[in-house]
Chains A and B, each alone.
Chain A
Amino acid sequence: MLVESLTRLLKDHVDQKLLVAAKQQGWAPELWRKLDEAEFPRVSLPEEAGGAGGTLSDLAAVLRVAGRFAAPVPLAETAMLAGWMLAASGLPVPRGPLAAGPAHGETVTARREGSHWILSGTLTRVPWAQTASRLVLLAHTTTEAIVANVDPRHCRIARGRNLAGEPRDAVRLEDVPAEQAAIAGPGVTQETFRLRGALARSLLMAGALERALELSVEYAQQRVQFGRKIGQFQAIQHEIARLGGEVAAAVAAALSAAGAMERGGDVTLAVASAKIRTAEAARDGALIAHQVHGAIGVTDEHALHHSTLRLWAWREEYGNEAAWSTALGQAIQEGGAEPFWPAVTAH
């Protein structure tokens, strides 16, 4: 139901014109309004916090479809990261597009001034900060972690973008007062933030890969060379089959990791595997899709690049496959040979 209605909405509204405009403007505010009316940015957030209810797997399904249509809106940041931090810490989730931070390796400090929390920090690449109505941050005092909500107009924002033109902005907070703040709720840690960010990108990549395959199949069914449709050549068929494998593996890995996170417990193996596998699929998948398309696929008038540019950007965000593999490999080696198989088969 959720997937069908979102697919219909995006099919009706996301076209080449919208994507080209979003590339210039950074996002698609009209599309956001429509998604917002239908409550999609609040899927998986509890109703008492202003959310739309639903499970994490529901949100996973939403992000997969959003990735498939390259929807230029901060659905992942709003629901998976910012909304989650707020709701888990007992704070209401404000309407509007949200951004979240800080990324791995960066910190925001918090201090109390009377009844207010004051935040400071320098963040280098915050997704969608320039388009966000609120910035939700996990900040630290010397003793505790708090979740705070700030107005981006109080921050210094230097606009940046990723390969696909999505906003990735430098944000500087100099004694910015929090609008709302609370002690970080159970499970709201930098580690979980990174895991959820990686999961969100895995799901978006799975969807983007599906689109790259759809476009490649369509093209191979129509394009004629040497008097035949190129899909009739075995060389092209085998490339399409290989692309299919990458796409199927990405979909299975990303959705399985979402299922694991929904069930709880230690999700490191699941999420690391999903980010590694989808990033690998992005590497081979994007290039196979371009190879099948030939020269037309690399032009800005063809739709393929909306998917492939995002794949090349998203695979790096919240840790690329090398970073996650190294961390996962380290954990496995420290655990030793015998516990490895039991860990793989725990679910």
Chain B
Amino acid sequence: MIRFENVSVTAQSPEGAARLLHNVSFELTAARTAIIGENGSGKTTLARALGGLVKPSSGRVIAPENLGYLFSNPGAQPIMPTVREDVALSLRGTRSGGRKLRREEIDAKVNAALAEHSLTEFADRPCHSLSSGQQQRLALCSILVAEPDLVIADEPTSLLDARHRRIVADRLLSPAAERVVLVTHDLDLASRCDQALLVQHGRVTAQGTAVEIIDRYERSLV
């Protein structure tokens, strides 16, 4: 279950406390949800609160513990020195059938994940030496390899070329995939979701089917 109950998020700034989210309440039932809204409206803060990256100043967030969060800046995502090691980190300590995965099992899963995201040729390259688009694919690969119950992706296709944008969108939004919450300015991508939230000035001002909410958002821009 994914639910926000009167969630507010406050951040300290030189001018004093700034409220980034105001008493936000909603429940997500669909498998694929898009969060849309203008720059600075609070989309990313909402997603970070959902992902447990920021603690609400009041209210309660209910979300699966086994989730992966994809940053809008993929350069901030790698933890380990090389591509292969970074993907393998997500599997360290993972259990399958009541026991920890063996080294060979981790290697096999990592190789399959690298191949799926066209990263095999970069396996032994330092993460920081990849291009932005390659880093975005690596970030996605590192998150998905752990098979989370929920993926929160902040602008997951913003740095990708057309081919990889299509591949990543198809992978994230495939019916068989894990539950997904997308923060995006790409309304074509958002329209492929089942449900959408419109965020304006730190509040969720509309919730409904993706088509309805995108239409409402576009009309509000005119």
Q: Do A and B bind each other?
A: no
* Residues of chain B at the chain A interface (Cβ within 8 Å): none
Which residues of A pack against B, CB within 8 Å? none
